[in-house]
Amino acid sequence: MAKLSLFLRNNCVGLLALFVALGGTSYAAVKLPKNSVGSAQIKAGAVNTSELKKGAVRNGDLGSGAVTGSKIKGNSVTSSKIKPGSLLLSDFKTGEMPKPAATPTTLPPSGAAGGALSGTYPNPGLADGIVTASKLGKLPAIRLGFATGATQQFASGAATSASGVQYPTAATATQYTQGGFTTGTEAAAGNGTTLIAPVSGVYTVSASVLWTDLAETVPGPPPVYNDNGDGYRTISIHGAQPGGVRGSNTVPAVDDTQTRQTISLTDYFQAGEGIFVTVSQNSGVPLDIRGTQNQQHFSATLLTP
Per-residue confidence at 164, pLDDT binned at 50, 70, 90?
very low
Q: Nearest Cα to 253, choosing from 281, 278, 279, 274?
A: 281
Task: Determine the pLDDT at residue 130.
Answer: 85
For range 173-179, the mean pLDDT: 86
Answer left, alpha or beta for residue 51, where phi above 0 means left and psi between -120 and 50 means alpha.
alpha
Q: pLDDT of 207-257, one tens digit each? A: 988 888 888 888 878 888 888 889 998 898 988 866 688 999 999 998 888
> What residue segments make up the domains of the chain, in order of their start?
141-304
Task: Determine the pLDDT at residue 23.
Answer: 56
User: Is 157's pLDDT higher than 70?
Assistant: no
Cβ neighbours for 139, distance < 8 A, ≥ 6 positions apart: 178, 179, 301, 302, 303
Task: Determine the pLDDT at residue 159.
Answer: 43
Q: Looking at per-residue confidence, does 277 or 80 come out higher?
A: 277
Q: pLDDT of 39-83, one tens digit each? A: 777 777 677 777 777 777 777 767 777 777 777 777 777 777 788
- Topology, domain 141-304: Jelly Rolls (2.60.120)
Q: pLDDT of 133-142, one tens digit each? A: 777 778 899 9
User: Is 163's pLDDT higher than 50?
Assistant: no
Task: Determine the pLDDT at residue 266.
Answer: 96
